[in-house]
Amino acid sequence: MAPPSQQSGLIVANYGRHFLVESASGERRICHSRGKKSQGVVGDRVWWLASQDEGTIEKIEPRRNLFYRQDEVRTKSFAANLDQVLILIAAEPEFSSSQLSRALIAAEEQHITPIIALNKRDLTEPFARAWAWLAPYRQMGYDVLPLAMATHNEADRDALLQRLSGKTTLVLGPSGAGKSTLINRLIPGALAQTGELSQALNSGKHTTTSTTWYWLNSDKTSALLDSPGFQEFGLNHIDPAQLAAYMPDLKPHVAHCKFYNCSHLHEPGCGVMAAVESASSPGEISANRYKIYSELYAELKQIRRY
């Protein structure tokens, strides 16, 4: 229970040491962290204290989850208290299967539902190739949604809105996938408003490096969060021994391994290796997905040696 002078709020944008906090009444105000550390992220429920025309964040409520990436240099938090992550990729430019898998693993580890959206359905041949390539992801139960956001296809927009209804969803995607188009289709003028706010804070350079919260409806039951782009998606926080548990195509076969601490790379009697497709056998795990697992396992194992 917070002191009477403090108000509850929601962090809806983060610009360095500045936070934009929305109160229960819908008022938005710039707040600063108490102390030297800036620990809040978009999606945090907080208690804040008014001070003249700004405020200070006094307390951050416990989080349900936190979607983040981590490499050797830094940890980058995208948002907290999410229901879904919408991973937006496109038929062109060609997307990275490794980056897609890493984002999915990060969501699985935090118990956040991922949705894969393949944009640019209007590019017939490239889309057909990409859609076929995503077959293993559909087979393992992921919701894979076809989109053509640049064509103003209302059916696509309605299908997307149906999945976003009543949820807090982070949109994640590489440069060129159409993330800005998608957000402006669902929330007209949203990105322009963000740019204006950033300039008002004299922090224009932060516009594309911070997550921003948008309400999708007037009763504020559905939210869409725009995330910064990224070149790499580090998973240094993942224990290599747990990696297979966050990959739905590998996970069921772990129970069939002969050894409880099987790495699924070389041990005899490995249930995972037995399920990998080969030239002579279709298998239940695609060769590409197993390659991603092997490379990521080696990467994470190497990190823990130091």
Show binding-site residues for GTP.
119-122, 173-181
Contacts of 253 (CB under 8 A, 6+ apart): 271, 272, 274, 275, 284, 285
**H-type helices in the chain, by residue range?**
97-109, 124-133, 135-139, 154-164, 179-186, 190-200, 251-254, 271-274, 287-303
Q: Which long-range contacts (CB under 8 A, 24 or more apart) does 193-199 make?
A: 194/13, 194/226, 197/13, 197/20, 198/15
Residues 6+ apart with CB under 8 A from 101: 247, 289, 292, 296
DSSP SS3 for 63: coil
Known binding-site residues for Zn(2+) equal 257, 262, 264, 270
Nearest to 264 by CA among 235, 296, 236, 233: 296
Where is the binding site, in residues? 119-122, 173-181, 257, 262, 264, 270
Is 103 in contact with 114 (CB distance < 8 Å)? Answer: yes
